[in-house]
Amino acid sequence: MMALTATTLLLVAGSRNGAVAQPTLTVDVPAAVSDTIFGAPEAKGRPIIVIDAGHGGRDPGATSVSGQVSEKDLTLALALELRDDLVKRGRVRVALTRADDRYLTLEERAAVARRLNAALFVSLHMDSAPNPLARGATVYSLSDVASDAEAARLAAAQNQGAGSNASGGSVQAMLSDLAMQSQMGASADLAARLVSKASGRLELRPNPHRFASFHVLRRAEAPAVLFEAGYVSNADDEVLLRTPEQRSKIALALAQAIETDVAAHARH
């Protein structure tokens, strides 16, 4: 494993309506570790899960309603916590698309999953919405047709600058279509398991499993979901997403869903 140098990611949840501020969160962040695989000794040879912390570098993502934190910082904090949870549990190995504040294209993110022949790819985000009352988590799986207008809007925003990837000849296109249908089905299964594990533990959106044509999920060439952990445009969600105890609940639900999905595929 390459040598790592540490920087620090600092997130401070501000007070609201006179409430006491949430504790400062300090996370030791190693230098970029693209293709570095983390795992307990007993996990040698087990499936690799790629965790993608959305945004980064010159792409901050959404800004929280308080203006104190960006989506890119929160997704990185959650990605590191999920990695640590999975490594500690020892059932899978883990790789990160980024482990510091750097910009990556969608293709670079998906390429990590392809190079490592990942069993699963999970992209982490925190959305914003025009309605400040909108809150809760949503799980998006891959589909050629969007489940609703909001899913289509989100996919279009996420896909900006991704370009197109047209298939080749008719035989290649047919094989690609068959593989893509299988990938879409596996992505939907993963999303359903995630919703099941999160239900009753986390605040979920109405109809929390949605789908659309996300470029990064398509190009991962593995069962893949985009997990929106909440809305940073909502004051309550912002506080939850910035609180380590609350994020740990999200990480645990994700870890259990990932392990259940890997176990289900191992039986087939």
Cβ atoms 108, 97 nearer than 8 A: yes
Does residue 204 belong to any structural domain of this protein? yes
pLDDT value at 58 more than 70: yes
pLDDT value at position 30?
41
pLDDT value at 4 more than 50: no
Output the six-digit token pair for 247: 């994020």
Does residue 3 belong to any structural domain of this protein? no
pLDDT value at position 155?
95
CA 47, distance to chain mean position in Å, is 17
Q: CA 138, 144, 148 angle in degrees (round to 5)? A: 45
Cβ atoms 217, 141 nearer than 8 A: yes
Does residue 93 belong to any structural domain of this protein? yes
Query: What's the per-residue H, E or C state across the chain?
Result: CCCCCEEEEEEECCCCCCCCCCCEEEEEEECCCCCCCECCHHHCCCCEEEEEECCECCECCCECCCCCCEHHHHHHHHHHHHHHHHHHHCCCEEEECCCCCCCCCHHHHHHHHHHCCCCEEEEEEEECCCCCCCCCEEEEEECCCCCCHHHHHHHHHHCCCCCCCCCCCHHHHHHHHHHHHHHHHHHHHHHHHHHHHHECCECEEEEEEEEECCHHHHHCCCCEEEEEEEECCCHHHHHHHCCHHHHHHHHHHHHHHHHHHHHHHHCC
Does residue 30 belong to any structural domain of this protein? yes
Q: What is the mean pLDDT of residues 10-37?
A: 46
Dihedral in degrees, nearest 10, Cα atoms 223, 142, 220, 27: -80
Task: Supply the pTM of this predicted model.
Answer: 0.84
Does residue 8 belong to any structural domain of this protein? no
pLDDT value at 169 more than 70: no
Does residue 167 belong to any structural domain of this protein? no
d(Cα 226, Cα 210) in Å, to the nearest integer? Answer: 10
> What is the CATH classification number for the domain harbouring 31?
3.40.630.40
Residue 146: which domain range? 22-156+183-266
The domain total for the chain is 1
Does residue 121 belong to any structural domain of this protein? yes
Does residue 104 belong to any structural domain of this protein? yes
Q: What is the pLDDT of residues 214-267, one digit of tens each?
A: 999 999 999 999 999 999 999 999 999 999 999 999 999 999 999 999 988 776
pLDDT value at position 176?
67
Q: What is the pLDDT of residues 192-205, one digit of tens each?
A: 999 999 999 999 99
Q: Which residue has the tokens 């039986």?
A: 267
d(Cα 204, Cα 7) in Å, to the nearest integer? Answer: 33
Q: Which residue has the tokens 């916590």?
A: 81
φ, ψ of residue 161 in degrees (nearest 5): 80, 5
Q: What is the pLDDT of residues 88-108, one digit of tens each?
A: 999 999 999 999 999 999 999
